[in-house]
Amino acid sequence: MQGTSDAKDCILRLRGISKQFGAVSALSDIELDVHAGEVVALVGDNGAGKSTLVKVLAGVHQPSTGTIEWCGERVTLDTPSRALDLGIATVYQDLSLCENLDVVANLFLGQELSPFALDEIQMEVRAWTLLQELSARIPSVREPIASLSGGQRQTVAIARSLLLDPKVIMLDEPTAALGVAQTAEVLNLIERVRDRGHGVILISHNMEDVRAVADRIVVLRLGRNNGVFDADTSQSDLVAAITGATDNSVSRRHARTTASQEG
């Protein structure tokens, strides 16, 4: 699978990324490719290094060794704003929305049009355009965020990351706090973002979500690459790669159900 990295449309390429926190190696020798119009899922157990890798890409942490290539050029992501300027947007797990402000204010926070006489009308029009492109279902953009459901808030957070038209967007556990219908809504949204030609990095614990939308699944284990899979990979293979053991309750259940279907 890693062979496709030679393709021209590879926008983000990580080679040999390592990160040490004192004596602890949080990441060692990580390889990761992201192409335009592709959803790459990043999965792994707690402590596998997913969050550290996200923070490296968001410019929060600097890698100890290794290179990051952006559209074929080597770059250093030394600050969050540098990553944003290049076109790497991050949707954090806690969404980072201001509940007292309305949807328009949140979408444009820090990027307001005409700072000394806010252009509310232009901002509202752009907000509606953006939300409609995502087929988002937000009844009113003039309501405070606090009145929106979890799925709608997630939609606003994703729409906000798209405002600056990034090439890659990273979603940290976007479905962790959501119900069934809202999860489906967010997964639809991820597919629409991909169809717009953005690269998407999806971090999730939920194997069903991952297999539903991901084009490739990159497994991290104890800070190392532990295989790249495609979406058709079976649950038990993924769990085995994540946990590092072929014998566990998930694989045993899988074996049982297969056996009962056959028998």
Partner 1 sequence: MTLPESNSPAQKLDRSDTRLRHDEGLSGALRGFIDRVRSGELGLLPVAVGLVVISIVFSILNPVFLAPNNLVNLLFDASAIGFIALGVVCVLLLGEIDLSVGSMSGLASAMIGVLWVRSGLPMPIAVTGALAAGAAVGLVYAMLRNRFGMPSFVATLAGLLALLGAQLYLLGPSGSINLPFTSPLVRFGQVMVMPDWFSHLLALLPGAFLLVSGLRKMSLRSAANLSYETASLLILRAFTLTLGLQFAVYYLNQGRGIPWMFAIFVMFVMIMHYALKRTKWGRSVYAVGGNPEAARRAGINVERIRMSAFVLCSMFATVGGILGAARLASASQQAGTADVNLNAIAAAVIGGTSLFGGRGTAWAALFGILVIQAISNGLTLLNLSSSLRYMITGGVLAIAVIIDSMARQSRASHGRG
The count of chain residues that interact with partner 1, using the rule CB under 8 A, is: 37
Tell me: does residue 177 bind partner 1 (CB under 8 A).
Answer: no
Cβ closer to partner 1: 95 or 210? 95
Cβ closer to partner 1: 33 or 102? 102
From CA 167, how far away is CA 37, in angstroms rounded?
9
HEC secondary structure over the chain:
CHHHHHCCCEEEEEEEEEEEECCEEEEEEEEEEEECCCEEEEEECCCCCHHHHHHHHHCCCCCCEEEEEECCEEECCCCHHHHHHHCEEEECCCCCCCCCCEHHHHHCCCCCCCCCCCCHHHHHHHHHHHHHHCCCCCCCCCCEHHHCCHHHHHHHHHHHHHCCCCCEEEEECCCCCCCHHHHHHHHHHHHHHHHCCCEEEEECCCHHHHHHHCCEEEEEECCEEEEEEECCCCHHHHHHHHHCCCCCHHHHHHHHHHHHHHC
Out of 7, 146, 245, 255, the only residue in the binding site for partner 1 (CB under 8 A) is: 146
Tell me: does residue 135 bind partner 1 (CB under 8 A).
Answer: no
Tell me: does residue 122 bind partner 1 (CB under 8 A).
Answer: yes
- In the range 63-92, which residues lie near partner 1 by CB under 8 A? 80-81, 84, 92
Out of 54, 97, 178, 210, the only residue in the binding site for partner 1 (CB under 8 A) is: 97
**What is the smallest separation between the CB atom of 116 and partner 1, expressed in angstroms?**
6
**What is the smallest separation between the CB atom of 256 and partner 1, expressed in angstroms?**
44
Tell me: does residue 109 bind partner 1 (CB under 8 A).
Answer: yes
Tell me: does residue 252 bind partner 1 (CB under 8 A).
Answer: no
Considering only the stretches 69-77, 111-119, 168-176, 192-200, report the one whose residues sit in contact with partner 1 under the rule CB under 8 A.
111-119
Cβ closer to partner 1: 2 or 111? 111
Binding region for partner 1 (CB under 8 A)? 80-81, 84, 92, 94-101, 105, 109-112, 115-118, 121-122, 124-125, 128, 137-147
